[in-house]
Every structure is written in structure tokens, then in C-alpha cells.
Amino acid sequence: MDLSYTAEEQAFRDDVRGWLAERLSKRLSDKVRKAQRLTKDDYLEWHAFLRERGWMAWHWPVEHGGTGWTPVQKHIFEEECVAAGAPRSIPFGLNMPGPVIIRFGTEAQKVYYLPRILNDDDWWAQGYSEPGAGSDLASVKMTAVRDGDHYICNGQKTWTTLGHFANRIFCLVRTDPNAPKRQMGISFLLIDMSSPGIEVRPIYTLEGEHEINEVFFTDVRVPAENIVGPENDGWTVAKYLLTYERTGIAGVAYSKQGLAGLKRVARDQRQDGWPLAEDPHFAARMARVEIDLMAMEIFNLRVVAAAGEGKLPGAEPSLLKIKGTEVRQEITDLMRRVVGPYAIPDLPEAFDEGWNGEAPGPDYALPLARSYFNMRKTSIYSGSNEIQRNIVAKHLLGF
């Protein structure tokens, strides 16, 4: 593939950059740059801007409200959004059930759910992991027993990101406990979070944030028409969804922005009278992560270009997930090392909008400990990196 940008692609970048400068509010971009907590209303504000321009579902097919962009345009758009300090688009509707419904859903499901996702009428959560089924999703125990025109669901989901905001959840459920292979007895079900029998409890992460939850289901009745794909073939649907999730976790644009900040700070910070960027050991680590990031960016473009041509990915999303999470973790670790003890303070109130207090050290040091701890989870969720290496070995080496 040609890795140089055409004149049309450069013009597209200018268009995106100009639109962001005009429509992205300073209040919102300041919150993102300062790593402040974003509310549901903040996300809805950003989504409204995207919807106004017709860029809400920029990776969907045109016939379902997408943009028809090329993979390179998608890459440019994400890069410019990160550089401008735009919030990330919450993926649990647009990037997960949306593409799944487009690919596997019935016409009735497409007509009902896709416009609601585009209009933010539905806010989705992901119901994959369970206490005994994280990276090994085939071990899910949440049951869905057919009862006439409904399924009766019982079980628990955990690590449910932003589940306290959601009004709907898509779940992997076990519909045939006697299937000869564990994957064969699983189905993909869409569930209304307001249904009787659902309880959401918060989980507070290492940095003290309420981002994730555990969700309990007790005799929850779900219409049978809410199943996506054939009964007991939810594993096929789940793998398709994970392809989107793992490719997105690579976070190339976020890593590029983080690396630029790391270089800038390392040039200013001094150790024994010299800029830290000139310390041989530290400079070598920065060079290594930059080389990894450059290689990953090219590989990411290759993968999305192949997907745009209709080629089914094999081990590529797993490779992107492994390297992408390792790069992001290394950058946050290096940033934390640059500022030393200034990365230690834990001031939860500092991440609320309107906080006017003082923190020790430079402003950019305040969120570093929070970012460092938050990035630890990236190599675990969406299938741990150890599981991804097994997938790579199976696809490429035949193990």
C-alpha cells in the first residue's frame, strides 16, 4: 500500500482540523487535556457535533448512516480528534453492537436499533466478562432459558464499563449448557437495562474512579426477538465484535500524542544538569517505543485497509492489541519517571470540572499517576495479552 498522503487526503485533514477548531468547545477540550472526569452530557455534546456534520458513525457503511471514508481518512480523522483534545466516541454502541447488528442482525433489529444508536437514544454497555470468565469467554455461566417468546436470564457480568450510564446491554449468555463444545452453547442477546431483575453495583478502580461496574441478572425476561444471529452461534458474533474492539485498543493516535508530550517534557526536565532526553538509558527507551509506535502505525493502516477491501483479519487484531497496549503502557511509565515524585500525589477532587486548587509540581504531572494506573488494565481487557499470543500462535504457527 502507498503510505504517503495524497493531495485529497491532505485536504481532508485540513477540513477535519478546521471543523474541530470551529465546533469543538474550549470547555470540552480543556477537560480532556486536563484529564478531568467527563460526564454523560459531555459525551452527548461531542456526539451532537459529530451527528450535525454527519460524522457520527464514521466507520459504518453509507447505507446505514456511515461516511464512506477510506481507511486512511478514518486514520486521519482519529488522529486530528486526539490532537484537538476531543473526547473519544464511546464505543459500546457505535463500535460494538452497531457493526454486529449490521452484519448479523435481522431487518427489524437494524431498523429499530441503528437509528437509536446514531441518535444517542440508546447508551450501551458490554456484558461479556464474568467473575469466572474474563479472557476465557467460553466459560460464561450466565444462562438464558427459553420460555415461550422470551428468555429468562440469570447470572452476573463484571468490569462493565460505564454500565451506570447505560440503558441497554449486549450479553453473551449460555443457551445450551449441554453443548459438546463450550463455544457452541453461547448466544448473543440484547437486553433492556430497565428490565425488572437487573442490579448495577459500582466497582472502584485502583486510581479511585467509578468507571466500571458489576451487573446482576435475576429472572430477567428478554424477548426472544432480541437474539442476534442464530441461537447457540453467539460465539461467531462475539469474535466479530472483538475484532473491532482489539483493533481500536491499539490507540495509535493516543500513543502518538502521548509520545509527543513525553519528548517535550523530557527535553525540559534535567537530571544532573542535563536534559533527561539526553540520558543514554532514558533516550534509548524513548527511541525504542517510538520505533515500535511507527511500525504499529503502518501495520494498523495495513489492517484497516485490508478490512476495507473485505478481507477477513486473522491474527492481526491480536497483534495490534498486544503491541498497542504495550506501547501505551510504556509511554505512561516513561512520563511518570520523567516527573519523579510529582507523579505520586492522589488528588481525586482535582479531576472535577472547576477545581481551582493547587498541586505540587507542573500541571502536566497531576494526571500521570492516574493515567499510569488506568493503562495497566489495557493488557488485560478484551482478552489478555497472554491469550492474544495464544491466538497468534494458533493462526500463524498452527499450534
| Look-up of cell digits 477548531 | 21
Q: Residue 378: which of 324, 302, 304 has the closest Cα? A: 324
Answer yes or no: 330 catalytic.
no
**Distance between alpha carbon 316 and the CA centroid of its chain, in Å?**
17
Would you put residue 255 in left (φ > 0), alpha (ψ -120 to 50) or beta? alpha
Q: Residue 212: which of 322, 114, 134 has the closest Cα? A: 134
Torsion of CA 227, 228, 231, 235, to 10 degrees: -130
How do beta strands 274-275 and 270-271 pair? antiparallel
The answer to whether 296 and 252 have CB atoms below 8 angstroms apart is yes
Half-sphere exposure of 222 (CA within 13 A, CB side): 32
Measure the CA–CA gap between 244 and 322, rounded to whole angstroms.
Answer: 14
Measure the CA–CA gap between 230 and 216, rounded to whole angstroms.
Answer: 25
Spot the catalytic one: 78, 130, 214, 245. 245
Q: Hey, is 270 helix, strand or coil? A: strand
CA distances from 210 to 67, 132, 162, 348 (A): 34, 22, 8, 11
Q: Residue 378: which of 200, 140, 211, 155 has the closest Cα? A: 211
| Look-up of cell digits 479511585 | 208
Residues 6+ apart with CB under 8 A from 398: none
Measure the CA–CA gap between 257 and 61, rounded to whole angstroms.
Answer: 29
Q: Hey, is 391 helix, strand or coil? A: helix
The answer to whether 68 and 55 have CB atoms below 8 angstroms apart is no
Q: Which residues are catalytic?
A: 245
